[in-house]
């Protein structure tokens, strides 16, 4: 990268990451052709993935990158700030969007009226812009703006689902999501009122010196409520099952792996980087609220999944349960616990999007994801079914899968804090995961397929990305150094306060 | 007594904001009609916008436009206004999308009353 | 409502001024109060008033949905390309200083073009939204059309 253009691109990587999908979205609308739009969108998502890889390398080598939008320096200007943690989140978001979108073309063409597909691709790119921006933004207000950009695109994408209930699910999600966003906005307003700044680093410094206890507490509560809604922590996550069930299959795979994860990152960032662990945990004891909620979410989500008859919705409930693990990691407020939370964010993104893509394959061939329709899938779509089993094992947390690694760190973190009942509960809730995964496996392999059904495997264009994601979640279960290394480093950064 | 009075009267803008906010939340949750839900959502968002705007007002402050010769003028804080311009645009986007969804729901279900929609959903 | 003379005459005389005011707010936005958001909404309000008086069909002949979709995209692209241009000239994204020979002119040009992009998009979005809702008559064609 010695040429002037290379240097130019290198300097502007943080901005390009967010801007490229934003610029390509209207181009997708202008071309009005579904295949061309898909091709452009895939090209852009892979480019953002390459950029985020480059950013991660730069951050690892040289420390954080601060990019001043419009040349106005922080804390006055708008800053994009790439640190270890969000470089990791950016990598997940862009990687999952690239893989899912590559797999999505056939599935979309099956489920959505073809003349409106180009709009879906535009919305997909806008959603990616919002999520990348949320992760990259260096000031609190822009977190809100990007959050709303991604949310609006998400509502529109869910509403395009094939069933008419997609509309009501999207509407309910819109109402809940907007309330969440507005709570976050209110919290940011209170913070601005007591500190007079919006820049995240600046906020952190000034908050330590301020003694306006009650205002800061209300701000913290508002932000926690808002982010809990967006990351779907029970009881505020009730919008999630329907939204995931009725959205187009590939959109679900994308959202499950990115939207809630970025919201989790925003929560972690507000708690640790703005308020700081001292303020949030020592003074306001948010762990006494977050930890019980996380435990309830773990169990309630898994228990509801057991009784579900539609696999897509079963996976959605399981997401609620897995989000509980992440929040548990956050509420432990120790390096090990937080490492567990961040590793689980990565691993869960891989396996859940993989599993939802499996369901996209099944929906593509069979037209339904209800258990009764998927009888004998092991015979009808052997590769698809086998992929599901592998992903299911990872989700339970069997050793040598990714799920095991993150639960290992959570249990270890709980034990370090002398919370052995919590460690026990993590293990118990994994048993619940065994039940609901087994329930699906039983239907796939031990029930006879309907007689008229022949063998009809999903197209390779969908299978390969699916197998790639599930394969990755197995790979990162065996070779853990990369993910755990980055996660631990990120956790230290988060806990360490301002560098 | 004095503190109570100053708490209520001195901070009246925040009281108004909180009252509006709760009204919005109540309408949002209690109303069964989807359009009224959207109105509740709007009231809720508007309360936060009012909060930012009233926060920016400085006593005797004027519009922050620099005029030649006026050196020691007190200006109101323009930043929250700018932020709220963005928030209003976000609000318009949300409202428009919500109303578009309501129109589509009406076309598909033939009603915008939540009870009746749920009844139809229960039937599949 | 075309047959109501008061509406028609007063509307006809108001609409040009509304649109002119929109343009004023648009192009005054770099030095004084104003800008693309407000200008776009004001300009679109003129179109909405025209539609209310003369009917959806006539308004759509000028502002067809396809064209509006293109304008929405064009505005965003204009905004984005100003940002990219400033990058190519060696500044950060949307760094107006590098756009012209000196920072003051750079800021001037940058704001003008960016706000134009915003204004175009907002106008087109507002008109599209209004047409979408007005065009979806719950029973048969829109009520705004019945007198045409």
Domains in chain B, please, with CATH?
2-62+72-123 (1.10.287.3510)
Angstrom CA distances, B20 to A181, A290, A331, B28, B45, stand at 17, 28, 33, 12, 9
- Mean pLDDT across the stretch A466-474? 87
Lowest-confidence range among A4-8, A98-102, A133-137?
A4-8
- Residue C76 structure tokens: 């965003």
Question: What's the pTM?
Answer: 0.91
- With CA atoms as reference, the chain C residue closest to A16 would be C93
Quote the pLDDT of residue A64. 81
pLDDT at A73 > cutoff 80: no
Is residue A445's pLDDT more than 70? yes
In this complex, is the C-beta atom of C1 within 8 Å of any C-beta atom belonging to chain A? no
A285/chain B closest Cα distance in angstroms: 25
A145 part of contact set with chain B, CB < 8 Å: yes
Task: Decide which of A189 and A398 is more confident.
Answer: A189
pLDDT of residue B59: 79
Mutation target vs A (from C78, C82, C87, C93; most A CBs, 10 A cutoff): C93
Pick the residue of C136, C139, C140 with the most B CBs within 10 A to test the interface with B by mutation: C136
A461-466 mean pLDDT: 86
Chain C residues near residue B85 by CB distance under 8 angstroms:
37
pLDDT, position A70: 75
Percent of chain A past pLDDT 90, that is, above it, reads 18
**Mean pLDDT of the region A120-142:** 90
A69 contacts chain C (CB < 8 A): yes
Average pLDDT over residues B104-115: 86
Residues of chain B contacting C136 with CB distance shorter than 8 Å: 103
What is the nearest CA distance from B45 to chain C, expressed in angstroms?
Answer: 19
pLDDT tens by residue, A298-355: 888 888 888 888 888 899 999 999 899 899 888 888 888 888 888 888 888 988 999 9
Interface of C with A in 17-36 (CB under 8 A): none
Higher pLDDT, residue A300 or A68: A300
H/E stretch holding B85:
helix B79-109
Is pLDDT above 60 for C1?
Answer: no
Mean pLDDT of A21-46: 89
Q: What integer pLDDT is reported at residue A415 of this predicted model?
A: 87
SS3 annotation, chain A: CCCHHHHHHHHCHHHHHHHHHHHHHHHHHHHCCHHHHHHHHHHHHHHHHHHHHHHHHHHHHHCCEEEEHHHCCCCCCCEEEECHHHHHHHHHHHHHHHHHHHHHHHHHHHHCCHHHHHHHHHHHHHHHHHHHHHHHECEHHHHHHHHHHHHHHHHHHHHCCCCCHHHHHHHHHHHHHHHHHHHHHHHHHHHHHHHCCCEHHHHHHHHHCCCCHHHHHHHHHHHHHHHHHHHCCCCCCCCHHHHHHHCCHHHHHHHHHHHHHHHHHHHHHHHHHHHHHHHHHHHCCCHHHHHHHHHHHHHHHHHHHHCCCEHHHHHHHHHHHHHHHHHHHHHHCCHHHHHHHHHHHHHHHHHHHHHHHHHHHHHHHHCCCEHHHHCCHHHHCHHHHHHHHHHHHHHHCCCCCHHHHHHHHHHHHHHHCCCHHHHHHHHHHHHHHHHHHHHHHHHHHCCCCCCCCCCCCCCHHHHHHHHHHHHHHHHHHHCCHHHHHHHHHHHHHHHCCCC
Which one of C33, C37, C136 has the shortest CB-CB distance to B103? Answer: C136
| Number of neighbours of residue C145 by Cβ within 10 angstroms | 16
For the stretch B45-68, pLDDT in tens is 999 999 998 888 887 777 777 777
| DSSP 8-state class, residue C4 | -
Q: Report the pLDDT averaged over residues C61-84.
A: 89
Which three-class secondary structure state does DSSP give residue B29? helix
| Average pLDDT estimate for A104-115 | 83
Among A19, A29, A68, the residue with its CB nearest the CB of C73 is: A29
Q: Would you state the pLDDT for residue C140?
A: 47
Domain residue ranges of chain C, discontinuous segments joined by +: 5-145
pLDDT band at A499 (very low <50, low <70, confident <90, very high): very low
pLDDT over 70 at A104, yes or no = yes
Interface touch C138/B106, C-beta < 8 Å:
yes
- Note whether C133 contacts B103, CB cutoff 8 Å: yes
In this structure, the number of other CB atoms found within 10 A of the CB of residue B65 comes to 11
pLDDT score for B124: 58
* Res A168 pLDDT > 50: yes
Which sequence spans correspond to the domains of chain A? Answer: 286-499
Question: Is some CB atom of chain A closer than 8 A to the CB atom of B20?
Answer: no
A267-284, pLDDT tens digit by residue? 988 988 888 887 878 788
CA distance, residue B83 to nearest chain A CA (Å): 8
- More confident of the two residues A95 and A287: A95
Q: Which residue has the higher pLDDT, C98 or A171?
A: A171
For residue A180, pLDDT beyond 70? yes
Average of pLDDT values for A226-240? 87
Looking at the predicted structure, is the pLDDT value of residue C141 above 60? no
Regarding predicted confidence, which is higher, B71 or A199?
A199
- Judge whether residue C145 has pLDDT over 60: no
pLDDT band at C138 (very low <50, low <70, confident <90, very high): very low
Of C76, C87, C92, the CB nearest to A26: C76
Residue B23 has pLDDT above 90, yes or no: yes
Assign C148 a pLDDT band (cuts: 50, 70, 90): very low
Nearest CA in chain B to A185: B48
The pLDDT value given to residue A178: 93
Residue in C32, C37, C138 nearest the CB of B85: C37
Q: What is the pLDDT of residue A12?
A: 82
Q: What percent of chain A has a predicted confidence (pLDDT) above 70?
A: 98
Task: Flag if A23 and C97 touch (Cβ within 8 Å).
Answer: no
Mean pLDDT of A356-366: 87
Query: Quick one: pLDDT at residue A154?
Result: 92
For A174, the closest of B48, B80, B97 (CB atoms) is B97
């Amino acid at each position: 990268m010695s040429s002037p253009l290379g240097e130019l691109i290198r300097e502007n990587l943080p901005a390009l990451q967010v801007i490229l999908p934003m610029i390509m979205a209207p181009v997708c609308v202008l071309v009005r052709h579904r295949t061309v739009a898909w091709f452009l969108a895939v090209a852009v998502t892979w480019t953002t993935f390459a950029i985020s890889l480059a950013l991660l390398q730069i951050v690892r080598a040289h420390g954080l990158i601060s990019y001043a939008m419009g040349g106005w320096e922080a804390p006055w200007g708008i800053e994009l700030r790439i640190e270890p943690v969000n470089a990791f989140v950016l990598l997940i978001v862009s990687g999952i969007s690239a893989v899912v979108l590559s797999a999505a073309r056939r599935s979309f063409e099956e489920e959505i009226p073809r003349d409106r597909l180009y709009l879906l691709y535009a919305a997909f790119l806008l959603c990616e812009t919002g999520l990348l921006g949320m992760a990259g933004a260096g000031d609190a207000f822009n977190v809100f703006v990007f959050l709303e950009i991604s949310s609006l695109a998400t509502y529109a994408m869910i509403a395009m689902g094939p069933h008419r209930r997609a509309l009501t699910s999207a509407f309910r999600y819109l109402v809940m999501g907007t309330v969440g966003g507005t709570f976050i906005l209110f919290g940011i307003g209170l913070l601005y009122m007591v500190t007079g700044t919006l820049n995240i680093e600046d906020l952190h410094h000034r908050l330590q010196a301020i003694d306006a206890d009650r205002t800061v507490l209300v701000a913290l509560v508002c932000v926690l409520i808002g982010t809990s809604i967006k990351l779907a922590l029970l009881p505020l996550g009730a919008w999630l099952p329907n939204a995931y069930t009725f959205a187009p299959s590939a959109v679900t795979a994308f959202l499950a792996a990115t939207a809630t994860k970025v919201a989790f990152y925003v929560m972690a960032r507000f708690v640790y980087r703005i308020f700081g662990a001292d303020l949030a945990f020592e003074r306001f004891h948010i762990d006494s609220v977050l930890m019980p909620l996380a435990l309830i979410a773990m169990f309630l989500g898994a228990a509801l999944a057991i009784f579900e008859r539609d696999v897509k919705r079963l996976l959605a409930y399981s997401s609620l349960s897995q989000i509980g693990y992440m929040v548990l990691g956050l509420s432990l407020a120790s390096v090990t616990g937080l490492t567990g939370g961040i590793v689980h964010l990565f691993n869960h993104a891989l396996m859940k999007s993989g599993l939802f893509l499996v369901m996209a394959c099944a929906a593509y061939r069979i037209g339904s994801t209800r258990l009764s329709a998927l009888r004998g899938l092991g015979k009808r779509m052997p590769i698809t079914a086998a992929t599901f089993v592998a992903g299911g094992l990872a989700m339970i947390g069997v050793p040598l899968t990714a799920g095991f690694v993150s639960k290992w760190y959570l249990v270890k973190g709980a034990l370090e804090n002398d919370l052995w009942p919590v460690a026990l509960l993590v293990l118990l809730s994994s048993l619940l995961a065994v039940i609901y995964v087994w329930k699906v496996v039983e239907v796939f392999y031990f029930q006879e397929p309907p007689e008229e059904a022949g063998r009809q495997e999903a197209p390779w264009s969908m299978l390969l990305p699916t197998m790639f994601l599930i394969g990755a979640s197995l790979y990162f279960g065996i070779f853990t150094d990369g993910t755990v290394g980055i996660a631990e480093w990120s956790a230290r950064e988060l806990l360490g306060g301002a560098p | 007594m004095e503190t109570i009075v100053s708490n209520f009267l001195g901070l009246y803008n925040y009281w108004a904001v909180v009252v509006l906010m709760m009204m919005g939340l109540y309408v949002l949750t209690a109303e069964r009609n989807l359009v009224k839900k959207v109105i509740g959502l709007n009231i809720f968002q508007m309360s936060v916008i009012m909060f930012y705007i009233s926060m920016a007002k400085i006593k005797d402050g004027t519009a922050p436009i620099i005029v030649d010769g006026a050196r020691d003028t007190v200006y109101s804080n323009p930043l929250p206004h700018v932020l709220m311009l963005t928030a209003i645009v976000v609000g318009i986007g949300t409202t428009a999308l919500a109303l578009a969804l309501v129109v589509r729901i009406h076309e598909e279900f033939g009603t915008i009353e939540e009870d009746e929609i749920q009844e139809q959903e229960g039937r599949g | 409502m075309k047959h109501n003379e008061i509406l028609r005459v007063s509307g006809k005389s108001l609409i040009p001024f509304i649109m002119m005011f929109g343009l004023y707010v648009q192009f005054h936005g770099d030095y004084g109060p104003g800008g693309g958001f407000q200008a776009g909404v004001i300009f679109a309000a003129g179109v909405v008033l025209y539609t209310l008086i003369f009917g959806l069909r006539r308004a759509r002949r000028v502002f067809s949905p396809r064209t509006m979709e293109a304008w929405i995209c064009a505005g965003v692209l204009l905004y984005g390309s100003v940002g990219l241009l400033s990058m190519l000239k060696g500044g950060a994204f949307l760094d107006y200083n590098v756009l012209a020979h000196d920072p003051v002119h750079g800021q001037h040009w940058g704001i003008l073009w960016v706000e134009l992009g915003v204004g175009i998009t907002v106008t087109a979005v507002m008109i599209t939204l209004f047409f979408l809702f007005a065009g979806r008559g719950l029973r048969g064609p829109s009520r705004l059309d019945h007198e045409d």
